[in-house]
Structure 1
């Protein structure tokens, strides 16, 4: 087993991946996903950039702590998982450059591809279906910059691979606070992601909702939910100095496996949702039944 040296955690990234032919998903090159190029004449690109600028300006340590206080009392509303999913039919993710469809379509696209590739892991199918369910906050008054998009730690220096990193944090006061603007900030080397305060959004919220309501989804599924939007880590290679052995050898492995289905299933083919409901309803009943507290 590898021995950790503070600040030097070995990633699972395989350099040989760069030498392989570029994969194609639904007729689209891998490199064509997550295109955050700036083009103010393109309404989707403009919407995406404005959402991230608001996020990166306002996601501070103080703000995240306030969101914990607001949302993690779990007294905001009571709703079944299915009813929460149906609400996503009215949500288009303003941070997503790859899809302009309601979020419930993406939920079923992700779940069905996982089901096809991992037919024996029913908890994985359900994880794919509900992974964005924390976005329901947007239906209860939360602005999308506090709900959607890539996540990142607050309380330390921002990683270089964060989208729009060069300019989007210019107005964030934590960048001028010596408690928060160094490499480690408020953290210790290799403290583990469990001990890192992430920017507030749908990942952390749904993870905490599932824990609070005693979901039976295994820890691998919960890790996928909690960190699937943490692209600066699992895709950009940043923040390894905060990771421990389990983060890199176990959690990252599952998050990377999930990411293939989350990102590369985005297309204009809409699944027959009504036909699929019975299968997923029995999974909801198995792993997180009834009316739950949000």
Structure 2
């Protein structure tokens, strides 16, 4: 069966859990190995197509397209404790090093905008920190190039549809926010010379840096939870490549603003007649809410927080887009933006330095800080009846 642009859009956009008005899904539109009559469909999206070009608001969260509206199952399942969390964190640190050095080099070379200078070079908490203590840019690039080669080959539309379907239909563990933070302590990277801190201490560092700068409490809490999506590595990821790394849209041409753009040559979407077009399945001004970003810890946590917290849109944007460097740092994909996205971009840029530059060997004390942050957690993840802390479905 030959694919047409409109046929592909209609089938992807009209799907519902029940099968939608399309009935069976034509095989060319399915991820490899899926059954067209299984009744297990990729995701739940609104009836209108992305080409409809509408502006999403907070009240329209449930009408998002590939960002989608996910209902998580209320069934607990243990995480896989045998995965190499230290290796994941080593890769994640190397990715951060590259992004730190790229930003610093732009400032040093005079190619940064004044806004970037203000954000990356003049952050209050970073004023006394010597960025040259981080490993050199070239060494970090060598560490991450093979990672990005694998990520760029495997992050396809088909995989992203399947990942979202798995997120929607499979069981996950249940635990509180603080328990999730403690779980991430298994990701301590003892071989990392940049910091000897555990994940919970890094999260507290980011939150405390934001707090010292007198940012709103929701902003502080966002710093605390922003990397909890790395729990995905212990649950349902295929490897490191669908957990960490810079994110980017799928379903349209891979932009030159993405790190190592040449490594997409083995991604089948780069040769697809629709996905390889500049706009692909999208239209200019469709809005970032309606874009399917490459699956990873940001997207995973975004959907959890969107459904189970009262965090504002700015916080959700910080969580979802903080690894979307092609957009918030390199200036790519501006054609996708609507009016809301201008505000969200400013929020992400305000958050980014706290993620990158708050690493240090200054040891925060979780026991002393827990009471303060538990108040914030209970404010934005309000406990349900009978709970003292909100139990989150991961």
Alignment TM-score, normalising by the size of structure 2: 0.63
Q: How does 1:76-225 map to 2 (within 5 A)?
A: 76-91=172-187, 101-119=197-215, 121-142=216-237, 143-166=239-262, 168-213=263-308, 215-225=309-319
Match of 2:357 in 1: 264
Q: Which has the higher contact order (CA 8 A, sep 6+)?
A: 1
Match of 1:236 in 2: 330
SS in 2 for 1:241: helix
SS in 2 for 1:186: coil
Match of 2:348 in 1: 255
For residues 199 and 188 of structure 1, the distance between their equivalents in structure 2, rounded to whole angstroms, comes to 18
CA-CA distance at 1:48 after TM superposition = 2.6
CA-CA distance at 1:26 after TM superposition = 4.6
Paired residues of 2:314 and 2:344 also in contact (CA < 8 A): yes
Match of 1:291 in 2: 391
Residues 58 and 264 (structure 1), Cα distance of their counterparts in 2 relative to 1, 3 Å cut: same
SS in 2 for 1:146: coil
1:15 lines up with 2:113 in the alignment: yes
Give ranges in structure 1 of 5+ residues lacking alignment.
Answer: 1-5, 7-12
CA-CA distance at 1:139 after TM superposition = 1.8
For residues 102 and 22 of structure 1, the distance between their equivalents in structure 2, rounded to whole angstroms, comes to 26
SS in 2 for 1:72: helix
Residues 18 and 201 (structure 1), Cα distance of their counterparts in 2 relative to 1, 3 Å cut: closer
CA-CA distance at 1:123 after TM superposition = 1.1
1:277 lines up with 2:370 in the alignment: yes
1:113-138 CA-to-partner distances (Å, cap 9, x unmatched) read: 1011125x111111110011111111
Residues 262 and 19 (structure 1), Cα distance of their counterparts in 2 relative to 1, 3 Å cut: closer
SS in 2 for 1:286: helix
For residues 110 and 224 of structure 1, the distance between their equivalents in structure 2, rounded to whole angstroms, comes to 13
For residues 121 and 213 of structure 2, the distance between their equivalents in structure 1, rounded to whole angstroms, comes to 20
Residues 279 and 73 (structure 1), Cα distance of their counterparts in 2 relative to 1, 3 Å cut: farther
CA-CA distance at 1:75 after TM superposition = 3.0
For residues 196 and 260 of structure 2, the distance between their equivalents in structure 1, rounded to whole angstroms, comes to 20
SS in 2 for 1:263: helix
Match of 1:72 in 2: 168
For residues 155 and 135 of structure 2, the distance between their equivalents in structure 1, rounded to whole angstroms, comes to 21
Q: Whose radius of gyration is greater, 1 or 2?
A: 2
Give ranges in structure 2 of 5+ residues lacking alignment.
Answer: 1-52, 54-110, 384-389
For residues 237 and 99 of structure 1, the distance between their equivalents in structure 2, rounded to whole angstroms, comes to 30
Counting matched residue pairs gives 271
Superposed CA RMSD in Å reads 2.9
For residues 290 and 227 of structure 2, the distance between their equivalents in structure 1, rounded to whole angstroms, comes to 22
For residues 229 and 100 of structure 1, the distance between their equivalents in structure 2, rounded to whole angstroms, comes to 23
